[in-house]
Amino acid sequence: MDAHARLLLTSLVLTGLLSHTTSTITHGNCEKSGQCTYIVRVRPPPNFSAEKSPTSLENWYRSFLPPGMATSELRSPFIHTYTEAIIGFAVRLTKDEVEYVKKKDGVLKVYQDDILPLLTTHTPDFLGLRPNGGAWNSFGMGEGSIIGLLDTGIDFAHTSFNDDGMATPPAKWRGSCKFEGVKCNKKLIGARSLIGGQNSEPPMDDVGHGTHTASTAAGRFVEGASVLGNGNGTAAGMAPRAHIAMYQVCDELGCYNSDVLAGMEAAIADGVDILSISLGGPTQPFHEDILAIGAFSAMQKGIFVSCSAGNSGPFSSSVSNEAPWILTVGASTMDRQMKAIVKLGDGRLFVGESAYQPSNLASLPLVFKLDGSGNITGKVVACEIEGPLVENGQTIKDGGGAGMIILGTEDSGNTTFAAAHVLPASYVNSPDGAVIRKYIESSKKPTASIIFNGTSLGTIPAPVVAYFSSRGPSTASPGILKPDIIGPGVNVIAAWPFQVGPKTVDKHDKVFNSMSGTSMSTPHLSGIAAIIKSAHSDWSPAAIKSAIMTTAYVIYDNKKPILDEKLNPAGHFTIGAGHVNPYKVTNPGLIYDIDEQQYISYLCGLDYTDSEVEIITHQKGACNKGKKIAEAELNYPSIAVWASTGKLLVNRTVTNVGDARSSYTVDIDMPNEIKATVSPTRLEFTKAKEMKTFVVSLSWDSSKTKHAEGSFKWVSGQHVVRSPIVIF
Ligand SMILES: *[C@@H]1O[C@H](CO)[C@@H](O)[C@H](O)[C@H]1NC(C)=O
Ligand SMILES: *[C@@H]1O[C@H](CO)[C@@H](O)[C@H](O)[C@H]1NC(C)=O
Ligand SMILES: *[C@@H]1O[C@H](CO)[C@@H](O)[C@H](O)[C@H]1NC(C)=O
Ligand SMILES: *[C@@H]1O[C@H](CO)[C@@H](O)[C@H](O)[C@H]1NC(C)=O
Ligand SMILES: *[C@@H]1O[C@H](CO)[C@@H](O)[C@H](O)[C@H]1NC(C)=O
Ligand SMILES: *[C@@H]1O[C@H](CO)[C@@H](O)[C@H](O)[C@H]1NC(C)=O
């Protein structure tokens, strides 16, 4: 993978439908002067924990710089200094200077700064969250929890962030929001911009992504929310009573690692409970992966981190943000369609989608977009997507085109996107796209019209995995099943800043937009994690993750398995533990907990060097002191193991978080070719928080079995605690 990749926001509207190969931009954070930004990870000063004075820490950091820079009195040489997310700093250096720094004693690693890609009205209802009854009534709406988002900023004035009836922030909150002209409130309790250094500008969102993700996680109830009148309903985030803190670390081009780390630093110091990160770059070993390193520090402080799995599907091993201390979130559809029906000259109909539904487009000549050549004036232009959807339409409109039909690419299966287009348009799926293509090629005078048929709910099957949702197995740690979970990430309607459009909307307080990507599924899970945190303030990040994973569902109401974009049953490397089920998450019965020490044993088991483990964990010589464990031995709520090994024998430990007296029996579901046992087969609990260990034993003929999937479940009268198993 390209070492100079920038993290991108994981939303498709912004980054376009670029394939997995093009999601990296090959320039680091460098200036014309020849200086580039580096993140320098150093050992802490002696007795670091004893003293936390920022000035003396800065002096310590200066001691690693070349003499001229170190003594500069005029201004701080640093872009960012870190103490919470990592011990280290970000600084601009020339090639010679960086060589100097690398040689200094106490420097663990120097990273060249890279840019990371930024990779709802209906979702609460689809997920069973309803104001009167359902999960919200029983378990609350995230009261007292704080969700920090690393994103493009926020529209302070949006109705989704009003604070009517909100409680004051919890006493532990140390964040701030002091600007002229714009104000935070009891909903939006913190807002900072960290782009390019500490900065006093308010983090206004001129991209839209951050406003969208923040409102998806924890937006208030807004009645009559729609995109240009479509998808009308009451908008709400997953945790409408949770507080929001926005850390602006991205612009429309993406997010620099140094700023992302500064956002994590600030969020940890401020005291957030949940970190929602809708961005990510290509997979890397964890000691190279700035996001994974910062997330480890967050986990150490009890902060739950949810991240996008990435938009590089449907290809195998495309998942990113794979560290086991992170919740890795894939994306799927919901049951809503904003129908834009294409009618060909021969009368055939194809149901596509568009969030812009003007009056119907009469039958007009239909042409392919041919590299800008040919006269498209007054025609309907069929094309495959090249870059962002709405811009694609703008180009055609500017060229005189009357309408647009976007043909789903071959890999994209039945996934369709409903965007707020600027001209009459329809996005048709891949099989329909192939038929339309054939029709154009084989007709003398191809024509098409577009009939807008409004929004319909109840589309089945739903959820279906989105083609773009990144897939496992994990590259950084194949023995941990990733992604962990899927949630709604296609055509999600959520808040949008007025000044960013859609341009035809004129009511400042009710602007919403439809967006797709794992950027959109991630804040759904962040909001749900906030609900769990409110209900169980003492649960560790691993316990919250376990609750989300073991209660997920993998079948539809008709008992058939959840499908992928090609309408095949979706495998574990596509959906992880399954689709999130908010009804069940706060009451999982049993949890698989993992403490910091176990993660360290796991990292030692990955055969990282001492210094690589130290970079992540802040512990020197940790692998000499503690024990090493294999990936499969981490007390994870799922199991992934290489087929070539032929067998697996591992312990798992569950903690009783249900009724004090409860009893569970095991139910194993594996193909016949796999010999599988769990021992004991029954767990009897008599106390709350009681722990029980059991052994999972699997064996198979490695010359025959190359891939097998199944699960085991602990079943009581009230609970089903499911763990997926994949042998690959
Ligand atoms: C660290 O602190 C201890 C106790 O406060 C002190 O004895 C020791 O000299 C300190 N070491 C350094 C290197 O400052
Ligand atoms: C839009 O939804 C709201 C409820 O949120 C409803 O009161 C209103 O009538 C709906 N408007 C239309 C045009 O359907
Ligand atoms: C394109 O076609 C339109 C309508 O047929 C015509 O008015 C226009 O002059 C043409 N443009 C060019 C550049 O040929
Ligand atoms: C997938 O798309 C094809 C072509 O539009 C359609 O016939 C089929 O019903 C779709 N399947 C599902 C499950 O939506
Ligand atoms: C369009 O909408 C009408 C009214 O809701 C419905 O009867 C019809 O079946 C829809 N057409 C298609 C092709 O979905
Ligand atoms: C697994 O658990 C058993 C019984 O609790 C214990 O004897 C054994 O040492 C454990 N194995 C590992 C690898 O931890």
Task: Find the CATH number of the domain harbouring 99.
Answer: 3.30.70.80
Residue 503 has a pLDDT of: 52
635 in a structural domain: yes
* Smallest CA separation from ligand 3 atom 10, residue: 375
Query: Taking Cα atoms as reference points, which of 315, 474, 493, 345 lies closest to residue 405?
Result: 345
Based on the fold, state whether residues 404 and 473 are members of the same structural domain. Answer: no
Residue 388 has a pLDDT of: 77
Torsion of CA 545, 546, 547, 552, to 10 degrees: 90
- Ligand 4 binding pocket, CB closer than 6 Å: 414, 429, 431-432, 461, 567
Torsion of CA 576, 577, 583, 586, to 10 degrees: -110
Based on the fold, state whether residues 573 and 474 are members of the same structural domain. Answer: yes
Q: Is the CB of 49 under 6 A from ligand 1?
A: no
* Smallest CA separation from ligand 1 atom 8, residue: 47
β-pairing, 254-256 with 250-251? antiparallel
Based on the fold, state whether residues 599 and 697 are members of the same structural domain. Answer: yes
pLDDT means over runs of 10, the chain (728 residues): 40 39 49 90 81 74 88 80 95 95 96 80 58 62 96 94 95 94 95 92 92 96 86 90 97 92 98 96 94 98 97 94 98 95 98 95 90 82 83 89 94 92 95 97 96 94 95 98 97 87 50 91 97 97 98 96 97 98 95 97 95 94 88 98 97 98 98 98 98 98 97 97 98
Query: Taking Cα atoms as reference points, which of 328, 316, 613 lies closest to residue 475?
Result: 316
Name the domain boundary from 536, 554, 583: 583
Atom of ligand 6 nearest to the CA of 649: 13
* Smallest CA separation from ligand 3 atom 5, residue: 377
402 in a structural domain: yes
Q: Is the CB of 697 under 6 A from ligand 6?
A: no
Name the domain boundary from 457, 489, 511: 457
- Which residues 6+ apart lie within 8 Å of 157 measured at CB? 182, 498, 508, 509
Query: Taking Cα atoms as reference points, which of 85, 475, 522 lies closest to residue 290?
Result: 85
Name the domain boundary from 457, 472, 506: 457
Based on the fold, state whether residues 128 and 105 are members of the same structural domain. Answer: no
Q: 398 C-alpha to center of ligand 4: Å?
A: 33
Residue 19 has a pLDDT of: 32
Which ligand sits closest to the CA of 633? 6
Which ligand sits closest to the CA of 349? 5
Four-residue CA torsion sign, 498, 499, 502, 503 = positive
Taking residue 316's Cβ as centre, other Cβ atoms within 10 Å add up to 14
Taking residue 693's Cβ as centre, other Cβ atoms within 10 Å add up to 11
Residue 674 has a pLDDT of: 98
Four-residue CA torsion sign, 703, 705, 707, 708 = negative
What is the rounded CA–CA span in Å between residue 291 and residue 307?
9
Query: Taking Cα atoms as reference points, which of 598, 581, 493, 577 lies closest to residue 532?
Result: 581
Residue 273 has a pLDDT of: 98
Based on the fold, state whether residues 400 and 271 are members of the same structural domain. Answer: no
Full DSSP string of 245-256:
EEEE-EETTEEE
Q: Which residues are catalytic?
A: 151, 209, 519
Q: 47 C-alpha to center of ligand 1: Å?
A: 6
Q: State pTM to two decimals.
A: 0.93
| CA angle (185, 186, 189) in 5-degree steps | 70
**CATH number for the domain harbouring residue 412:** 3.50.30.30
Residue 24 has a pLDDT of: 35
Based on the fold, state whether residues 395 and 490 are members of the same structural domain. Answer: no
- Ligand 3 binding pocket, CB closer than 6 Å: 375, 377-378
556 in a structural domain: yes
- Ligand 2 test: best mutation among 232, 336, 455, 493, most atoms within 8 Å of CB? 232
84 in a structural domain: yes
Based on the fold, state whether residues 311 and 353 are members of the same structural domain. Answer: no
Burial of 504 (0-12, 13-18, 19+ CB in 10 A): exposed
620 in a structural domain: yes
Please report where in the chains the tokens 């957030």 appear, as a residue: 272
Q: 232 C-alpha to center of ligand 2: Å?
A: 6
* Smallest CA separation from ligand 6 atom 8, residue: 651
34 in a structural domain: yes
Full DSSP string of 453-490:
EEEE---SS--BB-TTS---S-SS-TTS----EEEE-S
Which ligand sits closest to the CA of 450? 5
Residue 268 has a pLDDT of: 98
Residue 370 has a pLDDT of: 64
Based on the fold, state whether residues 707 and 672 are members of the same structural domain. Answer: yes
Atom of ligand 2 nearest to the CA of 234: 5
Spatial contact of 591 and 659, defined as CB atoms under 8 Å apart: no
Q: Is the CB of 558 under 6 A from ligand 1?
A: no
Based on the fold, state whether residues 171 and 297 are members of the same structural domain. Answer: yes
**CATH number for the domain harbouring residue 207:** 3.40.50.200
Q: Is the CB of 693 under 6 A from ligand 6?
A: yes
The SS3 assignment for 422 reads coil
Based on the fold, state whether residues 426 and 313 are members of the same structural domain. Answer: no
- Which residues 6+ apart lie within 8 Å of 183 measured at CB? 156, 177
Query: Per the structure, how many domains does the chain have?
Result: 4
Which ligand sits closest to the CA of 49? 1
Query: Taking Cα atoms as reference points, which of 549, 146, 208 lies closest to residue 388?
Result: 208
What is the rounded CA–CA span in Å between residue 416 and residue 407?
9
516 in a structural domain: yes
Q: The domain containing residue 527 runs over which residues?
A: 123-332+464-583
Based on the fold, state whether residues 310 and 371 are members of the same structural domain. Answer: no
6 in a structural domain: no
Strands (DSSP E) contained in 196-336 are: 222-227, 230-235, 243-248, 250-251, 254-256, 274-277, 304-308, 327-332
